[in-house]
Amino acid sequence: MSSALAGKVVIVTGASSGIGAASARLLSEHGCRLTLAARSIDKLERLAAEIDAEALAMRADMTIPADIAQMVERTLERFGRIDVLFANAGVFIMGDYASGDPDAYTNLLKVNVDGVLRCMHAVLPAMKAQGAGDILVTSSIAGHEELHLGPVYGASKHAIQTIVHTTRRQLAGDGIRVMSLAPGRVANELWGLSDPDEIERLTRVERDYLKVEDVAEAAVFMLTRPRHVTIRDIVMLPQKQDV
């Protein structure tokens, strides 16, 4: 496949499953060289063996700053550059705030906000030196709407929207694009969904969920726009999701 992404070096966090794994598969078809990062090294190694791409699989916990630094350092050692950061790793908690676990909320904010901030900060020296780069962050419809069943998750994604919109302005002069991809319900492990037949029913028939492949295709669309075009936000919903 001839693609604007051919040969690009892409870091995908949260790559062991869901949107991250689907995006890694699609990016490999576009000729990307990949760093696949997540906590589950076994899943990453299986994915790296499955895809047709040069891939570095490494365990990285987004709550551990040293893991993030090592992820970036090893990518540069292996590939010599970083063209794209797809900051996709995230934690999802919905439910009643008062009965929730404050420690779980703190961990969510560490992954969804602090982890993204640190990943972005870690890749910027290389991207600035290159004079080009793309940072794409997985946000959520919860970053655009106040969903009453997810107050802390929504707060984390509202923070992401602010980070994306402000750093985009600061980094535009360095040739770096900063973008946000905000899906609604996605039929994946975060929603407790893994059975292919059930996913097919919920997406194609009921139209209540997106497929992970739908989100991956949107990510690749954003990354393949000409350099003079920045898709600041994409918000995508299953056709029957009522927000």
Distance CA(187)–CA(180), nearest Å, equals 20
Q: Please give the positions annotated as active site.
A: 153
32 and 8 Cβ atoms separated by less than 8 Å: yes
Q: Which residues pair with 177 in a beta bridge?
A: 134
**Ramachandran region of residue 238, left (φ > 0), alpha (ψ -120 to 50) or beta?**
beta
Distance CA(94)–CA(191), nearest Å, equals 10
84 membership: H or E segment, kind and range: strand 84-87
In this structure, what token pair is assigned to residue 126?
A: 């290389």
- Provide the 10 A C-beta neighbour count for residue 212: 24
**Closest C-alpha among 14, 59, 7 to residue 34:** 7
